[in-house]
């Protein structure tokens, strides 16, 4: 971004007060903001008491060596005990922890008591394999209950896990095993996706031809496909884990004991290995799940549709909901298998009350058509969450209307792998929500929007999102690279965490996320956000999805190039392009009109569903493509390149 701050072009007037019944019984009310503002550390000390500590902490934050934080440092706890055993001890062992739905329709139900037994058996198995506290375990599994069990078993014995998304290549698996120095890998023969059995074990085999140091591969049998077997290294889960004792005494670990390493999604470049620790992370995932979803363990059925391979899966499939003793749904497959109504069928079947999904999925559902969710009974839903990208106002409205029957609050939650937990989000029983805005830092969180010099922007202005105080679930470092941690996050603005995202404040002071600062376009001296132009395009009934980049231009500095996916039945033509350019001009002003609009069939996305604009910029400027290792489908880029022979 240049000296000038980010232009604030999009005007959004719609807003929706919280439903009265939800507000009346909300887990968190407006006074939490005030309480936390008066005594932030006291507020977090109180939230830490949501957990069971073997040794309760007397210290809250140690910030004597910034930016290396310690939270609750003299406390000791066992994370897995907090996620399972204590619910059983409290008499809730019969409550369902996980309703598992396989892609092919097979199901499994695990109560908290059963989950505890499974976690203990897996922990005993890892101990038998010689895994000790501090040893790293790589996990490469499909979305099956053993994934949750594996994470918790590692946590239980203090062995940091490093989960690799089950769709990644051997190269990505190898580099993550190597970076973490893992000696044990947990995988499966395969998993079911789009009606087929995908192979996982063979990818691990290939990865292990590239890295040394792995002595054991523990293999879950899921698909029963043939697998190659390395004697002395490979062990079947059902042979080793099933014969273990369901008793295991959970040893307490220091609050700052490493819990896991997880790589960022790689939207902006090579993924970073983010390190999270135990007490602060669990405190904030637990609190935010309770606050943002208003989760009630005795009645709610919660479903986070993310994969466990992303931070959303770690914090909001495993640690947040299970530490709160909530019943959740876990689904193995894709939203269109065997039909495009699968998600809504699952909501109906389990009576899901709280759902957490990504804008990419919501835009896809919009594209598939309103009639699909309309066939199912979705009346159990009471809070709808969104995470991963800015949600375009039209997608937000669609979600609220077609999924939430105009009744449910939509909570747009901003956070990152690095933040560990939700940071900026409405509270469903408190906030007057606005489509497209994450709105306000949660109680106990301090965020700001600043200009190039680091000065807070006034209401109505735009700039860089920063976090101005340390928070309990913050990353502690980049694994093995303290200097990169300091340089990446703490050097741009003195004493503040630089998130890498652009944002603006509206006239009420609410925060709107505007996309990556790397993606901001500079057109004739104006900084324009990709998000605002994309949202303007998506607000046309003819566009399902849009990605916008700034390409070098001789006259304007940069010119806006838009790639759009048209809605079903809309024909591509020159008149349509003119119509869309004019639509953007009318919505945001002439400065934001794209110079070129290219209808495409698909957009390049990370495996976690985020648009990778940097690759589109590479294409638009005729450069060689940057790091594509986290791209879902490389053929997408070839199709787009063909569409754009020379844009530079």
- Annotated binding residues for Mg(2+), as ranges? 538, 543
Q: Does 388 bind ligand ATP (CB under 6 A)?
A: yes
Distance CA 311, CA 317 (A): 9
Residues 85, 135, 254, 501: which binds ligand ATP (CB under 6 A)? 501
- Contact pick of 175, 187, 223, 416 for ligand ATP (by CB under 6 A): 416
Which long-range contacts does 220-224 make (Cβ < 8 Å, 24+ apart)? 220/141, 220/144, 220/146, 220/186, 220/187, 220/188, 220/189, 221/188, 221/189, 222/142, 222/144, 222/188, 222/189, 222/190, 222/191, 222/192, 223/188, 223/189, 223/190, 223/191, 223/192, 223/197, 223/198, 224/189
The annotated binding site for CoA is made up of 193-196, 312, 524
Count of other CB atoms within 10 angstroms of residue 270 = 12
Contact 465, 449 (CB under 8 A): yes
Given a contact cutoff of 8 angstroms between Cβ atoms, the answer to whether 640 and 628 are in contact is no
Of 18-26, 121-129, 260-268, 320-328, which part binds Mg ion (CB under 5 A)?
A: 260-268
CA–CA separation, 611 and 191 (whole Å): 25
Q: Toward Mg ion, which CB reaches closer, 78 or 608?
A: 608
In the annotated binding site, the residues are 193-196, 312, 388-390, 412-417, 501, 516, 524, 538, 543
Compare residues 283 and 439 and give the one whose CB is closer to ligand ATP.
439
Selected range binding ligand ATP among 97-105, 449-457, 493-501, 563-571, rule: CB under 6 A: 493-501
Instruction: Give the contact letters, 414-443, x = binds to Mg ion (CB under 5 A), - = no.
Output: ------------------------------
The whole-angstrom separation of Cα 620 and Cα 552 is: 9
Of 451 and 501, nearer to ligand ATP (C-beta) is 501
User: In angstroms, what CA-CA distances link 298 with 13, 95, 111, 253, 324?
Assistant: 37, 8, 13, 29, 10
Site string for ligand ATP, 295-334 (x = CB under 6 A): ---------------xx-----------------------
510 part of the interface to ligand ATP, by CB under 6 A: no
What does 390 bind: ligand ATP, Mg ion, none (CB cut-off 5 to 8 Å by kind)? ligand ATP
Q: Is 144 helix (H, G, I), strand (E, B) or coil?
A: coil
| Of the residues 40, 276, 505, 516, which one makes contact with ligand ATP according to CB under 6 A | 516
Q: Rule CB under 6 A: is residue 513 a binding residue for ligand ATP?
A: yes
d(CA 605, CA 58): 45
- Cα gap 484→475, rounded to integer Å: 13
What angle in degrees, to the nearest 10, is found between the helix axes of 635-643 and 613-620? Answer: 40
Answer whether 393's CB lies under 8 Å from 12's CB: yes
∠ CA 185-188-193, nearest 5°, is 130
Options 89-97, 167-175, 257-265, 403-411: segment touching Mg ion (CB under 5 A)? 257-265
The least distance separating ligand ATP from the CB of residue 539, rounded to whole angstroms, comes to 17
Complex with ligand ATP: residue 191 or 309, whichever CB lies closer: 309
* Contact (Cβ atoms closer than 8 angstroms) between residue 529 and residue 523: no
Asked if residue 435 binds ligand ATP (CB under 6 A), the reply is no
Task: Considering only the stretches 264-272, 469-477, 520-528, 580-588, report the one whose residues sit in contact with Mg ion under the rule CB under 5 A.
Answer: 264-272
Helix (H, G, I), strand (E, B) or coil at 7: coil
The stretch near Mg ion (CB under 5 A) out of 241-249, 258-266, 284-292, 611-619 is 258-266
Q: Is 390 in the site for ligand ATP (CB under 6 A)?
A: yes
Q: Does 98 bind ligand ATP (CB under 6 A)?
A: no
The verdict on 608 binding ligand ATP (CB under 6 A) reads yes
* Distance in angstroms (rounded) separating the CA atoms of residues 464 and 600: 31
Instruction: Name which of Mg ion, ligand ATP, none residue 387 binds, using a CB cut-off of 5 to 8 Å depending on partner kind.
Output: ligand ATP
CB of 307: closest distance to ligand ATP in angstroms?
11
388 interacts with, out of Mg ion, ligand ATP, none, CB within 5 to 8 A per kind? ligand ATP
- Supply angle C-alpha 15, 18, 19, rounded to 5: 125
Q: Which two tokens stand for residue 259?
A: 């819990």
- The torsion defined by the Cα of 46, 49, 51 and 52, in degrees rounded to 10, comes to 170
Binding site as annotated, residues for ATP: 388-390, 412-417, 501, 516
Least Å from the CB of residue 631 to Mg ion:
16
Q: What is the DSSP letter of 592?
A: G
Shortest distance (Å) from residue 491 CB to Mg ion:
16
Q: How far apart are CA 385 and CA 356, in angstroms?
A: 4
CA 287 to chain centre: 17
The SS3 assignment for 143 reads coil
350 binds, among Mg ion, ligand ATP, none (CB under 5 to 8 A by kind): none
Nearer Cβ to ligand ATP, position 223 or 416? 416
Question: Which residue's CB is nearer to Mg ion, number 175 or number 630?
Answer: 630
Indicate whether 512 belongs to the interface with ligand ATP (CB under 6 A). no
**In the window 176-215, what residues touch Mg ion (CB under 5 A)?**
none
Q: Are 53 and 323 in contact (CB under 8 A)?
A: no
66 binds, among ligand ATP, Mg ion, none (CB under 5 to 8 A by kind): none
Cβ neighbours, 10 Å, residue 375: 12
Applying CB under 6 A, among 135, 328, 389, 618 the residue interacting with ligand ATP is 389
CA distance 80 to 152: 5
Question: What would the 3-class secondary structure string for 69-99 be?
Answer: EEECCCCEECHHHHHHHHHHHHHHCCCEEEE
Query: Pick from 266, 428, 463, 599: which binds ligand ATP (CB under 6 A)?
Result: 266
Asked if 265 touches ligand ATP (CB under 6 A), the answer is yes
Q: Which does 438 bind (CB under 5 to 8 A by kind): ligand ATP, Mg ion, none?
A: ligand ATP
Residues near ligand ATP, by CB under 6 A: 264-269, 271, 310-311, 387-390, 412-414, 416-417, 438, 499-501, 513, 516, 608, 610
Residues near Mg ion, by CB under 5 A: 264
């Amino acid at each position: 971004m240049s000296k000038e701050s980010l232009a604030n072009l999009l005007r959004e007037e719609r807003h929706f007060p919280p439903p009265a019944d939800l507000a009346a019984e909300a887990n968190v009310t407006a006074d939490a903001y005030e309480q936390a503002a008066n005594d932030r550390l006291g507020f977090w000390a109180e939230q830490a008491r949501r957990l069971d500590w073997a040794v309760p902490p007397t210290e809250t934050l140690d910030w004597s060596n910034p930016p290396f934080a310690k939270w609750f440092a003299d406390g000791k706890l066992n994370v897995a005990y907090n996620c399972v055993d204590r619910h059983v001890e409290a008499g809730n062992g019969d409550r369902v922890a996980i309703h598992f739905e396989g892609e092919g329709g097979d199901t499994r139900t695990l109560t908290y008591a059963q989950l505890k037994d499974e976690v203990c058996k897996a922990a005993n198995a890892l101990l038998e394999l010689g895994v000790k506290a501090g040893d790293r375990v790589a996990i490469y599994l499909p979305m099956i209950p053993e994934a949750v069990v594996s994470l918790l078993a590692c946590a239980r014995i203090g062995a940091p896990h490093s989960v690799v998304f089950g769709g990644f290549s051997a190269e990505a698996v190898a580099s993550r095993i190597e970076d973490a120095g893992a000696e044990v890998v947990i995988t499966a023969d395969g998993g079911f996706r789009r009606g087929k059995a995908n192979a996982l074990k063979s990818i691990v085999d290939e990865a292990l031809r590239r890295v040394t140091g792995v002595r054991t591969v523990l293999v879950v049998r899921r698909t029963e496909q043939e697998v190659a077997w390395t004697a002395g290294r490979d062990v079947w889960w059902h042979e080793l884990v099933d014969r273990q004792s369901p008793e295991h005494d959970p040893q307490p670990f220091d609050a700052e004991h490493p819990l896991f390493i997880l790589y960022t999604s790689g939207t902006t470049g090579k993924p970073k290995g983010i390190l999270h620790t135990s007490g602060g992370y669990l405190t904030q995932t637990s609190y935010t799940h309770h606050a943002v979803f208003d989760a009630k363990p005795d009645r709610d059925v919660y479903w986070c549709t993310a994969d466990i391979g992303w931070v959303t899966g770690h914090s909001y499939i495993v640690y947040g909901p299970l530490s709160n003793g909530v019943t959740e749904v876990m689904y193995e497959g894709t939203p269109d298998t065997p039909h495009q109504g699968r998600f809504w069928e699952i909501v109906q079947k389990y009576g899901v009350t709280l759902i957490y999904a990504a804008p990419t999925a919501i835009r896809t559902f919009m594209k598939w058509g309103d009639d699909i969710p309309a066939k199912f009974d979705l009346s159990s839903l009471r809070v709808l969450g969104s995470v991963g990208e800015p949600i375009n106002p039209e997608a937000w409205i669609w979600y609220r209307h077609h999924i939430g029957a105009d009744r449910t609050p939509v909570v747009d939650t901003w956070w990152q792998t690095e933040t560990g937990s939700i940071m900026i989000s409405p509270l469903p029983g408190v906030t007057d929500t606005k489509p497209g805005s994450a709105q306000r830092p949660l109680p106990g969180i301090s965020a700001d929007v600043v200009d190039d010099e680091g000065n807070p922007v006034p209401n109505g202005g735009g700039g860089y999102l920063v976090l101005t105080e340390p928070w309990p679930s913050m990353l502690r470092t980049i694994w093995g690279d303290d200097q990169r941690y300091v340089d990446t996050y703490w050097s741009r603005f003195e004493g503040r965490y630089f998130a890498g995202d652009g944002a603006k404040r509206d006239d009420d002071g609410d925060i709107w996320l505007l996309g990556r600062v790397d993606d901001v376009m500079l057109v004739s001296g104006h900084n324009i956000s990709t998000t605002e132009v994309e949202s303007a395009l998506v607000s046309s009934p003819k566009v399902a999805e849009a990605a916008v980049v700034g390409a070098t231009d001789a006259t304007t500095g940069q010119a806006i190039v838009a790639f759009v996916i048209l809605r079903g039945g809309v024909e591509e033509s020159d008149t349509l392009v003119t119509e869309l350019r004019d639509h953007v001009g009318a919505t945001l002003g002439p400065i934001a009109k794209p110079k070129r609009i290219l209808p495409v069939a698909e957009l390049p996305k990370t495996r976690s569903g985020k648009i990778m604009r940097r690759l589109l910029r590479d294409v638009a400027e005729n450069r060689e493509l940057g790091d594509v290792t986290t791209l879902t489908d490389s053929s997408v880029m070839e199709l787009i390149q063909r569409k754009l022979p020379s844009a530079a």
